[in-house]
Structures are given as structure tokens and as C-alpha cells.
Chains A and B, each alone.
Chain A
Amino acid sequence: MDGTPFRQDQPQVRPGFQVQPQFGVTYTTQLPPSQFLPPPPPAAEPMLQTMPTSELQNQPVSGSLVPDMTTVRTQMHYQPGQQQQDKANSQNKSQEHSQPSSGLTPGFSNTPGVPHSHSHSSSGGTSSLYPATPAPMTPMTPATPAEGSGIVPQLQNIVSTVNLGCKLDLKKIALHARNAEYNPKRFAAVIMRIRDPRTTALIFSSGKMVCTGAKSEDQSRLAARKYARVVQKLGFPCKFLDFKIQNMVGSCDVKFPIRLEGLVLTHAQFSSYEPELFPGLIYRMVKPRIVLLIFVSGKVVLTGAKVREEIYEAFETIYPILKGFRKTS
């Protein structure tokens, strides 16, 4: 395979979504915080086409954190309440992989406002490999540090579905696959597991598959492709159609105790708190449509998102509310 582009693990940014960077907010805590980076030159050629496959394969992918652009994120602050367009097909990504260099390169992947010369059809199941051209975004302007929480929720679980495009014999899969379990009396699907990324898949006889346990969008896609390839190796004419992320779960810690009884009194229409049944408060945010589990220890779990920006926006919306219930009255 020559010239096949590979997309690096990047946070998804929906076209049209306005982002503003903020100092002090990084996605990867292992790296030192990067400063505001200038946008790359416009009309950049898609570097993936010129990049030989061998260079991609020689890149370190495990163990070490190489300070290249693949793991460097620009500091971004997602303003809550901004209108977001519905995310198109997952293939419509706006970032691309640039040629790796020895030092820190500009955050090509997360930089908004980068025009792309190529286009990509948004329908699922096409053979085009490049993500679609995104809508131009507003240029990054630094926001004041006091506006943001300074805390970034970490993704803990991603649930995705894909259509393998053919009927499957589950008994044959359970017989020939080492990592599969199948008990038709209990559940009408094969449960398959792989070690890297550590995920679990439910494979149904209709050819549909559910993949759970990944920590990022691309890890979920990679894991789903691995499962599909295993099934293909067992003799089925599998494809990889209509991959879609159905749910994302994130969690974070605000580092201060929260008075849940006060919160349920002031936000009764959104909150549900029954200590007899569950120790956390269930907050159903309307915009974005996210469910938050808020605990007295300050830990917050966010779930129900289709894209990670919804999780970030929901947390930025709830953080000032939680700060109001920080101490005892």
C-alpha cells in the first residue's frame, strides 16, 4: 500500500465549531504546556501523500512520548453555549498529519482555519481515504485564564458500532477465534476481546458489531478494524461500513467537596439526588445533552456525548455551578 494516508490520534473538532485557545489547558499532562502556536501556512499540500509508509511504521507508537506534533495539542478553550453543528461522518476530519520533525512543529492537527486542497465525500462506505474539507474556523485568540476551569475531562470509555456488511456464523467464529466466547442461551452474540487497544466487541450474526472500552476515538476505530480483520481472516467477506461513535464517557476531579443537597435545591429541574439509592447527584444538562454524575468528593463523570467537545463544554458549564457549592453554609 503506497500513499495510504494514516491519520494520527487527534481530538475531533467539528467544522464550524469556534474554538479559542487558553493558556494552562493541555490535553496531555505528560508533556510540558505548549505555548500559543502560529497557524501553519495556508494551502498546505496534504503531507500524507508524500510521506512514505516506512516512515510511518518506524515511528515509535508505544512506551515513549515523542515530542512531535502527534502528541502535542494546542491549548484550546471551548466556550460553553456556542452553537455546534451536527458532526458529520467521522471521516470528515479537519486535521491531517504533517511531516514529523525533530522538534516541536506547529500544531497542524488542531489548528483551525487551515484550508485543505482536497475534498472528501461524507457518505459512509466510500473508498475515499481523506477527510472532508472543514469549514473555516475563526483564528485563535487567547482567552483570559480566569474564564476556564483549568481542568480537562479525561475520556474513559467510548462505545462505537460498525457494520461488517455480511452475515456471520457465530459458532464458526467462536470455534476458530481464541479470544471469543459465545453462549447463545445467555446472549445472542460473540464476545471478543483484544489486548491492544484493550477493548471488548459484541459481534452479532447480522454482521453488526459493537466495540467498547477504548479511550479515544481513533483507538476505538483501530480496535474495531482489528476485530473486523480477525473475522475476515476466519473466512467471511467483511468490510468496514458506517463506523459511528455512539457514546463517550469522560471523568474529572474538581478537587473540592460539593454540597449535593444545595445543588439539588437550586437546580431541581435538572438534578436528581436520592442518597437512598445512589450516592451521586444525576444532573441532566440540556445543552449540550449530557448526563453528569456529581459526587461529594468532587469527582464528576460525564456521559452521553457523541463528540468530545460536548464533554468539554458540559464540564465548563457545570464548573462555575459546582464552585458555588464548594463549602458548607
Chain B
Amino acid sequence: MSSASVCTQCGSNNIQLDPHFCLEQQICTDCGFVLEEGSFQNDPTRAFQSQQSQIALPLKYRQHNNFREHVSKARRDGALRVEEISAMLRVTSDVMVEEAKTLFTQAFNLKVLNKAKREKKRVLPGCVVYIVCRQHDWPILLSDMWDLLQCRDSVFYSVYKVILAELDITITVPEIETVVPSVIQKCGFTFDLSDEQMKAVTQIVCLAKNTWITCGRRYDPIIIASVFLVWKAEDYAKRKKTSIPKFCRQIKFGTQVLPMVRSRVQEFEGLFLKLVSEIPWVETGQIDKKNIVCYLSDILRYEKTLLAGKYGDSDLESDDEERELQEKILPPSMTNRKPKSDVRDTDSMTSKVSVAVSYSTELDENDIPDSELHKYIRSTKEVMMVEDAQKSAQEYEEENPLKRKDSSSSRKTRKRKISDVENTP
């Protein structure tokens, strides 16, 4: 826009530039005549900048709207969510909250997560808070986060792994003994545990860690099983008939973890039976899994000696596998080996037999004998029967257009299969 020095109307020299909205105008202050107004074509701020592949907006507009530091709504909401989750977890340290926000900004800008589904973006603040808490050695578990966020464990874990991989962060799983108080508080038992009982629970958990029970398992059921045994041992006469389901009913999520708690209690009882056999003043003939908790205090007091007795002569290269399995302390998955079924044996046999195969691109009769081929192809009669059946099914559906149980039409939210964790080898 070329600047005029003299007003063409009155001849005055008082020409002023007036930023009228986003367009600059040259106005004579004496008569108010608009000498020249900015043109979109001539305005250099509106020129297309091919280098940045963006149309540059006028300077005033950018300054007014703080264009360079514009933050999207999703990012703002995510930062607020980080603060909310930190407050729910009672993260009082401002440093940790700021670290979480910084990490959230970095994770938000990752290209992998830009194209992710909304479900994954919703759990991003929770992942970030978890990572920061673990970096500061907080005794927090993954299960705590997905319970807090009410999200699927697979979704949370997928976002969590992406952040760790892309931002090169290493996070270790917390030790089980550090998590005991937080898990007990989360369970919300109807009774209070004394200091001695807390100490006994921690000792049992450490014993489980040294005897392979915690390896590959969730921490919650192990801690709940330990609390159950300590609580039962405190007043055995009154509590000996209390079953595990009844005990777990007082916990908020007791029904979900009941199968695991039951199997952990059985493993603990089996372990205690093995250890109590080393105690010289105990008659093992009268001890069974029901009353083993009466000797819990002795077992925990002499734990190291009893374990040394089991591990001292341990020689895992011994030929006697049965003795090894029965007497030595091994992971439960090694001692609970199921016998292989006959079907698997036949499969393993057929896999070792030689196979003749052709490398030709043309198919011929030798690829599959006719006797076998006819097993897989329907006869004309069968085809007609199938066609008739399909027609009648179609006609029935047209006549009765009711709700069809079709897997594609209904989407059920996949619940976390707790039993799957336990059924793996």
C-alpha cells in the first residue's frame, strides 16, 4: 500500500494510518477523507509464503489472537486431566505435576498417537502420571491406574508402551513389599491390622518372593491371601471356619480376584507344609492345610533356616525329577504340570514323519489323493440340500425380521479375563 503525503480532498498534510480492524487505512485527520485503504493483493502480510506453506495472517490479527502460542482444546483438556488425576492420587509435589504436564505435551505431539483412536487419547494423561510416579519410586501399580481411569487394560498398556518406546523411558515394576500398604488400603478391609500383623503380612510376601510364588503373578491376590492367613492365625479358634469367598466379600473387588486368592492361599499352605517339616519340635503327622496357620509364627521366625534347609542340598541338575518336584521349592507352574493329552502326542509324531511335497506352480493329482479330496467336496445332492436350507432360512428371516444374534451387529465391551493370566504356562 503506497503512502500518500497530501490529502486529495483538502490538501492537508496530516495523514494518519488507522488500523481499521485488520485493514490499515490512510485517513486525513482534518477532513476524515479515506485516502487509501489496504488491499488484500498488495498487503505483504497476506502474501502466500510457499516456504511455510501457510497463508500468513495480518500482523494485528496474529498479535491479538496470540497465534503462535495457540493451544488446541484437546491439549488444554489433557493438561487439566493430568492435574485432576494427580489430585486423585494425592500427588502434592508441584514438581511432579509439572513433569507430568511436560511429558504429556511431548507424548501428545507424538505422530503415532496423533492418529490413535479417541479411546487411547483419553488414557494418555493417566499413562503420563503413572510414568512420573514410577520415576519417583511411588508404589503404584498398573492395575491401580486402569481401575482409576475405568479403561481397558490393553488400551492403557498399548499407550504406555508407545510412550516408553518413543521417548526412551525405562520404568521398572515396583517391588511387592513396597506395595503392601497401598494394596491393603485399596482393599478396604472391615478390620484394622496392627503393626505386628502388617509386619507378618510383609514377611509372608517376602517369603513368597523368595519361593517363586510372586514371579509372573499379580500382586493383589498374593497380598490379600497373606492378609487372610495372618487374620486367620490371629484367632484360629473363631476363624477357622471362615471361607475365602466370605473373606473376599468384604473387599471392593473381591469377586474378581477370588479365584486367584484361593489358588494363592493353596500355594501358601503347600509351602508352609514343606517348611514346617523342617522344624524339629513339630509333629508333622497331625498337621494339614487347615491348621498350618497355627504354626505361622514359627515359620516366619525361622524362615531363613527353613529355606536354607530346602535350598542347601538343591541340585537342579539331579536326575531324580520326581524328588525334585516334590521336595524342592520350585515355581508352582513347574510342579503343577498337567500330563500331555494323546492328541498332542499324535500330532508330534506326524510332524516328525517325512513329507513329500512338490515345488511346481501347477497343481495336479499328486498334491492330494482323490480319496482324501472327495472328503472335502460336497456331492451334488448335498449342495442341493444346503441350498434348500439356506433358502428356507432366508425366507424365515424375511418373514420374521426380529433381532438377530449376529456377532457383527453387537459389540460387547471386552472384559479383562483374569483367569487368562493364571492359565498361561
Interface positions of A (Cβ within 8 A of B): 1, 4-9, 28, 30, 56, 59, 61-63, 65, 70-71, 91, 124-127, 129-131, 154-155, 175-179, 185-186, 192, 194-198, 215-216, 218-219, 221-222, 225-226, 228-230, 232-234, 238-241, 255-257, 259-261, 264-265, 268-269, 272-280, 295-299, 326-328
For chain B, the count of residues having a C-beta within 8 Å of the partner chain is 62
- B373 proximity list for chain A (CB < 8 A): 229-230, 233
Expressed in whole angstroms, the Cα–Cα distance for A196 and B363 within the complex equals: 18
- B212 proximity list for chain A (CB < 8 A): 257, 296, 328
B95 within 8 A of A: no
How close is B295's CB to chain A, nearest CB, in angstroms? 23
B305 within 8 A of A: no
- A186 proximity list for chain B (CB < 8 A): 407-408
Name B377's contact: one of A65, A225, A226, A234 (CB within 8 Å): A234
- A230 proximity list for chain B (CB < 8 A): 368, 373, 376-377
Check A261/B173 contact, CB under 8 A, given A178-B378, A196-B350, A297-B334: yes
- A70 proximity list for chain B (CB < 8 A): 354
How close is A230's CB to chain B, nearest CB, in angstroms? 5
Q: Do residues B157 and A274 form an inter-chain contact, with CB atoms below 8 A?
A: yes
Expressed in whole angstroms, the Cα–Cα distance for A222 and B359 within the complex equals: 9
Expressed in whole angstroms, the Cα–Cα distance for A62 and B346 within the complex equals: 11
List 13 A–B pairs whose Cβ atoms lie within 8 Å, in order of A's numbering. A7-B356, A7-B357, A28-B352, A61-B356, A131-B359, A175-B378, A186-B408, A196-B350, A222-B357, A225-B363, A229-B364, A275-B216, A295-B333
Expressed in whole angstroms, the Cα–Cα distance for A216 and B349 within the complex equals: 12
Q: Do residues A216 and B425 form an inter-chain contact, with CB atoms below 8 A?
A: no
Expressed in whole angstroms, the Cα–Cα distance for A222 and B358 within the complex equals: 8
Q: Do residues A62 and B350 form an inter-chain contact, with CB atoms below 8 A?
A: yes
Name A177's contact: one of B142, B214, B377 (CB within 8 Å): B377
Name A268's contact: one of B170, B311, B351 (CB within 8 Å): B170
Expressed in whole angstroms, the Cα–Cα distance for A131 and B360 within the complex equals: 11
Q: Do residues A274 and B173 form an inter-chain contact, with CB atoms below 8 A?
A: yes
Expressed in whole angstroms, the Cα–Cα distance for A138 and B352 within the complex equals: 27
Q: Do residues A8 and B356 form an inter-chain contact, with CB atoms below 8 A?
A: yes
Expressed in whole angstroms, the Cα–Cα distance for A49 and B178 within the complex equals: 71
Q: Do residues A273 and B173 form an inter-chain contact, with CB atoms below 8 A?
A: yes
Indicate the member of A56, A70, A274 with the most B CB atoms within 10 Å. A274
Expressed in whole angstroms, the Cα–Cα distance for A326 and B315 within the complex equals: 11
Q: Do residues B357 and A225 form an inter-chain contact, with CB atoms below 8 A?
A: yes
How close is A2's CB to chain B, nearest CB, in angstroms? 12
Q: Do residues B367 and A4 form an inter-chain contact, with CB atoms below 8 A?
A: no
- A91 proximity list for chain B (CB < 8 A): 359
Expressed in whole angstroms, the Cα–Cα distance for A233 and B364 within the complex equals: 10
Q: Do residues A225 and B367 form an inter-chain contact, with CB atoms below 8 A?
A: yes
B412 within 8 A of A: no
- A65 proximity list for chain B (CB < 8 A): 352-353
Expressed in whole angstroms, the Cα–Cα distance for A237 and B409 within the complex equals: 36
Expressed in whole angstroms, the Cα–Cα distance for A198 and B372 within the complex equals: 13
Q: Do residues B352 and A276 form an inter-chain contact, with CB atoms below 8 A?
A: no
- A6 proximity list for chain B (CB < 8 A): 356-358
B2 within 8 A of A: no
Check A297/B357 contact, CB under 8 A, given A233-B373, A274-B142: no
Per-position contact with A for B144-183: 1 when CB-CB < 8 Å, else 0?
Answer: 0000000001000100010000000010110000000000
Interface positions of B (Cβ within 8 A of A): 141-143, 153, 157, 161, 170, 172-173, 210, 212, 214-219, 311, 314, 316, 330-331, 333-334, 347-364, 366-368, 372-373, 375-378, 382-383, 386-387, 406-409, 421, 424-425
How close is A199's CB to chain B, nearest CB, in angstroms? 11
Q: Do residues B363 and A229 form an inter-chain contact, with CB atoms below 8 A?
A: yes
Q: Looking across the interface, which residue of chain A has its beta carbon closest to that of B333?
A: A297
Q: Do residues A277 and B357 form an inter-chain contact, with CB atoms below 8 A?
A: no
How close is B165's CB to chain A, nearest CB, in angstroms? 10
Name B352's contact: one of A30, A238, A259 (CB within 8 Å): A30
- B219 proximity list for chain A (CB < 8 A): 275-276
Name B366's contact: one of A4, A255, A327 (CB within 8 Å): A4
- B361 proximity list for chain A (CB < 8 A): 124-127, 239-241
- B387 proximity list for chain A (CB < 8 A): 175
Q: Do residues A257 and B331 form an inter-chain contact, with CB atoms below 8 A?
A: yes
Q: Do residues B360 and A127 form an inter-chain contact, with CB atoms below 8 A?
A: yes
Q: Looking across the interface, which residue of chain B has its beta carbon closest to that of A128?
A: B359
- B333 proximity list for chain A (CB < 8 A): 295-297
Q: Do residues B407 and A240 form an inter-chain contact, with CB atoms below 8 A?
A: no
- B409 proximity list for chain A (CB < 8 A): 185
- A273 proximity list for chain B (CB < 8 A): 173
- A71 proximity list for chain B (CB < 8 A): 352-354
- B216 proximity list for chain A (CB < 8 A): 260, 275, 279-280, 295-296
How close is B294's CB to chain A, nearest CB, in angstroms? 27
Expressed in whole angstroms, the Cα–Cα distance for A222 and B311 within the complex equals: 51
- B353 proximity list for chain A (CB < 8 A): 9, 61-63, 65, 71
Indicate the member of B349, B354, B362 with the most A CB atoms within 10 Å. B354
Indicate the member of B218, B347, B351 with the most A CB atoms within 10 Å. B351
How close is B414's CB to chain A, nearest CB, in angstroms? 14
Q: Looking across the interface, which residue of chain A has its beta carbon closest to that of B144?
A: A276
Q: Do residues B357 and A218 form an inter-chain contact, with CB atoms below 8 A?
A: yes
Expressed in whole angstroms, the Cα–Cα distance for A263 and B192 within the complex equals: 37
Expressed in whole angstroms, the Cα–Cα distance for A175 and B383 within the complex equals: 6
- A63 proximity list for chain B (CB < 8 A): 353
* 10 residue pairs, one from A and one from B, having the closest CB atoms: A279-B216, A215-B351, A70-B354, A297-B333, A6-B356, A9-B355, A296-B215, A225-B367, A185-B408, A226-B368
